[in-house]
Amino acid sequence: MTESTFKIKAGIVGGAGYTGGEMLRILINHPDVEIVFVHSKSNAGNHVYDVHTDLFGDTDLKFAAELAFNIDVLFLCVGHGDARKFLEANEIPDHIKVIDLSQDFRLSQNSKFNNKNFIYGLPELNREAIKAADNIANPGCFATCLQLGLLPMAANELLTNEVHITATTGSTGAGQSLSPTSHFTWRNDNLSVYKVFNHQHLNEIGQSLKQLQGSFNKAINFVPYRGGFTRGIIASMYTESELSEADALKLYHDYYAGHPFTHVTSKDIDLKQIVNTNKCFLQVKKYDNKIFIISIMDNLLKGASGQAVQNMNLMFGLDERAGLRLKATGF
């Protein structure tokens, strides 16, 4: 499929939020996509650049109050619980592929809705299933970052001890709606812990690890932090293991060979390397009897809209990297 022979027609629901804005930024520049509509009742009739002001000069698209079904794929960039409500209120024709960025269909017990079966959309875990899927449940941001740090161990049945994780996310991970912990005056120059040991993404992570290592039954001790920065996730995790550092690096390199966005190194890594990209960087080290992994990625791209476009590319037989060769901030 090339630009001259085929254009995927896309619709976006929830285009005024953070993930909707990132979806617009990617798809406007995607060589194989035409955006048919961006749905937002509260902004209907306004240009998308009235909300996403950086898109001024890039597009003349306007928000629409009505849905259009002359599309090939529908992105649901809505809040948790709202995707299910949307599908209950709107019957989407079977020929339209649906990619949902909420948590509504990620767990296997919630993956079926009427005649739709949602595949968990982590390409590094389910690439072949994604290629054949009609509906995708896009993973959560923390879930993506942490799973990418642990999948190679589970795939080789090497998660035999508890896993300990500390991870910090930027303020955009909380979404656009204001709350006491998302105001600038509270978040700036601040750091706080939340949802210790019971973050909702642990369910996704456990499900995926057991998919690869059915015997896995150890605790995942996860301490999430709210960071005083805008975007990105940095996670450090460790577990006891007899693997040497060289063997661990080989295991990780082998697992991610052929996956274009996940890269493994023994060198130090930092958020500015991956912010504004669809990449995940993994640093793998050995300290005494512990394998230590650092995983970094952009929560709005690899953790949300970028991964959703990656899934779309796979579903439509495109180059997995199409529209996602993005520039990091660097400094």
Q: Is 148 strand, coil or helix?
A: helix
Q: Which of 77, 141, 145, 280 is catalytic?
A: 141
Separation between Cα atoms, residue 46 and residue 11, nearest integer Å = 17
Separation between Cα atoms, residue 63 and residue 163, nearest integer Å = 45
Instruction: Determine the distance from the C-alpha atom of residue 1 to the mean position of all C-alpha atoms in its chain, rounded to a whole number.
Output: 25
Q: In what order do the strands lie in the sheet with 280-287?
A: 192-193, 220-226, 163-169, 233-240, 290-297, 280-287, 262-265
Q: Which of 124, 174, 173, 130 is nearest to 150 (CA)?
A: 124
Q: Retrieve residue 140's tokens.
A: 């959560």
Whether 265 and 199 have beta carbons less than 8 Å apart is answered as no
Annotated active-site residue 141? The verdict is yes
Whether 165 and 235 have beta carbons less than 8 Å apart is answered as yes
List active site positions. 141
